[in-house]
Structure 1
Amino acid sequence: MDVVSANASLPRRAPVQRRSRERMDRILSVASALIGSKGSDQMKMGEVAEQAGISIGSLYQYFPDKSAIIRSLAERYGLESRRCVEEALLPVASLADLEAAYGSLIDVYHALFKAEPVRRDIWSGMQADKQLMALELDESRACGKMLAEAMARAHGRPDPVLFAMRAFMIWQLGEAAMRLAISVEEKEGDAIVAAFRSMTLREILAP
């Protein structure tokens, strides 16, 4: 994570004052809407500045390029995801707890992706940048680690390393499954999520 943070495009100005935070929130809101309607490739910095009601120079004071905007949006969604995962998995102490918590997370993620399909489009923007791809993998590792720890507790095995690779793969595939589910008709998407839940639960609950 340190290598990615050092090299990837980052916001140039940290929003300390209320006005600055509000301006950054407005920029990211506009960018999110543009990405959702046009895709990340078609989002232009000039259009972001115009719709956010600021000059292009002011925009560059906050974000040096488009990758920095996508990174900030991805980090916001990543933080939200980790909070949901932690809240669901931290209390897990048994296999029954694990099955219920994991199933609940699947439902929450599916609902989030349906409510905010821009998550899929932000992911697409990240795939064009190796440093942003590394950020996405770091998010999967962080959430996978929490899942592995919950699996270790539920199975009565104190070493989560035993489950780490399984949990990491499940989490990464889960993100892909959710993106696929919202890219097809709703009925088919629901079936995809149900199939993913069934397949991965077998791996999660297996000794």
Structure 2
Amino acid sequence: MQEKSSRIKTQERVARRQPAQQRSRERLDRILEIAQQLIAEKGSEHVKMSEIAELAEISIGSLYQYFPDKRAIVRTLAELHAAESRRCVREAFEAVSTRAQLLGAFASLVDQYYEIVLDKPVMRDISSALRSDKELMSIEIAESRACGALLATAIRRVMPRADIKRVNALAFLIWQLGEETMRLAVAQKRGEGALLVDAYKRMSLRAIEEV
């Protein structure tokens, strides 16, 4: 009887907490949404925490409870974008079973990523912010390793005799060079940017074929 009573009380406490947790989650999503909008409009370096708090309709004190500074917001946005990117890469390579499919999947991912970066200014700004901050740059390196590992797995699946260490190093390099290429490409006029991305794609495909 006591166990049942204790279980009921525990369930009641969880039920009472849930609305507060949901409100907190919604508030966090709102903060990140506002931050993305402001970063897209003016760049992260010009966005103030007070602006984010005002548009999110919360006090500056409440904002600091979620994020101690603007860097923490940029880091969270970068991690969210990285997680979504990694999901797309995983899905693209999961179905690969032949060399032709591997090359096609990689080429398609490069084209898709370039279009996304062009269409979403916030991603360009976050990428630049990561590059200029040594602490934040670790996020990009970790993402290149993670996506590179997915590429390496796909390469080894269709080329089982390939040297594992060489494949891993190549895949990591290809992915990190991709990030650098995108930054360079979007800083140029669109025509030249497209040529840079195409050159990177052709060089990468050739390197993969020669493994």
Q: Which interval holds the TM-score relative to the shorter structure?
A: 0.7 to 0.9
TM-score (structure 2 length as normaliser): 0.85
Find 2:26's aligned residue among 22, 29, 53: 22
Instruction: State the distance in 1 between where 2:108 and 2:57 align.
Output: 40
Instruction: State the distance in 2 between where 1:140 and 1:57 align.
Output: 35
Post-superposition CA distance 1:159-195 (Å, at most 9, x none): 6433011111110110121222222222222111111
Matched letter for residue 43 of structure 2: G
Instruction: State the distance in 2 between where 1:130 and 1:104 align.
Output: 30
Q: Which has the larger radius of gyration?
A: 2
Structure 1 residue 143 and structure 2 residue 147: aligned? yes
- Counterpart secondary structure, 2:187: coil
Find 1:95's aligned residue among 92, 99, 109: 99
Instruction: State the distance in 2 between where 1:167 and 1:123 align.
Output: 20
Instruction: State the distance in 1 between where 2:178 and 2:91 align.
Output: 18
Alignment of 1:173-192 (within 5 A): 173-192=177-196
- Counterpart secondary structure, 2:35: helix
Query: How far apart are residue 129 of structure 1 and its match?
Result: 3.1
Instruction: State the distance in 2 between where 1:180 and 1:53 align.
Output: 37
Contact in 2 for aligned 1:71/1:132 (Cα 8 Å):
yes
Query: How far apart are residue 121 of structure 1 and its match?
Result: 0.7
Structure number with the bigger relative contact order (C-alpha 8 A, sep ≥ 6) is 1
Instruction: Point out the structure with the larger helix share.
Output: 2
Alignment of 1:148-167 (within 5 A): 148-157=152-161, 160-167=164-171
Seq. identity, %: 52
TM-score (structure 1 length as normaliser): 0.87
Structure 1: gaps of 5 or more residues: 1-15
Change (3 A) 1:90 1:159: farther
Contact in 2 for aligned 1:40/1:124 (Cα 8 Å):
no
Structure 2: gaps of 5 or more residues: 1-19
Post-superposition CA distance 1:98-125 (Å, at most 9, x none): 1111011112111211111211211222
Partner of 1:108: 112
Find 1:193's aligned residue among 156, 177, 197: 197
What is the count of residue pairs matched by the alignment?
193
Instruction: State the distance in 2 between where 1:181 and 1:18 align.
Output: 41
